Amino acid sequence: MTIPTDAPCDFSQLVRVERARLLDMLRSLSAEDWHRATPCPGWDVLGLVNHLIGDDLSVIAWQRDHHHGTPAPEAADETQFIHWLDNLQMEWVDAARRISPRLAVELLDWLGNPVADTFAAQDPGLWTAHVSWASDSPVPVWLDQARELTERWIHRQQLHEAVGRPTDLD
């Protein structure tokens, strides 16, 4: 498989659009909606939203600030990496239980611009990113940005499903 160097689009702008749609949906939720189960095992709506907050903080810390406070274990195979990542995500979501729905929305609103700005400041054609399912070797930065955007879009669709709304395929 040949991965193109040129980005197919400006992912920083798509992150801004995705965040706006997520915030619109979250601001319309009832108090009961925040406790509904999601397709992510063990996470209710608030838990999944807190997971997104953790993802945003990770992008900013890792990609903008070059702070790797939770590096993956060295020489981990795919199974070990997945186990490490699952545990890391669960630790964050468990710790974030103290975040209220209102605060979660405020944090996502605040974090949206720094995430998009981080993407905008990167050279999408540099082959310095790591996307395990795409290659064992570095890949263009834009592919990592696409992965991050895709994760956020998928989780928004899961939130729609959890609260009984049709998915937003745009």
In sequence order, which residues have a C-beta less than 8 Å from that of residue 44 and are 6 or more positions away?
Answer: 34, 35, 36, 37, 38, 162
Q: What is the pLDDT along the chain (170 residues), one digit of tens a residue?
A: 688 888 888 999 999 999 999 999 999 999 999 999 999 999 999 999 999 999 999 999 999 999 989 888 888 888 998 899 999 999 999 999 999 999 999 999 999 999 999 999 999 999 888 887 777 788 899 999 999 999 999 999 999 999 999 988 76
pTM, two decimal places: 0.93
Question: 129 forms bridges with which residues in the sheet?
Answer: 139
- Evaluate whether 73 touches 80 at the Cβ level (below 8 Å): yes
Token code pair at residue 142: 């834009």
156 vs 45: CA distance, rounded Å: 10
Residue with tokens 């702008």: 13
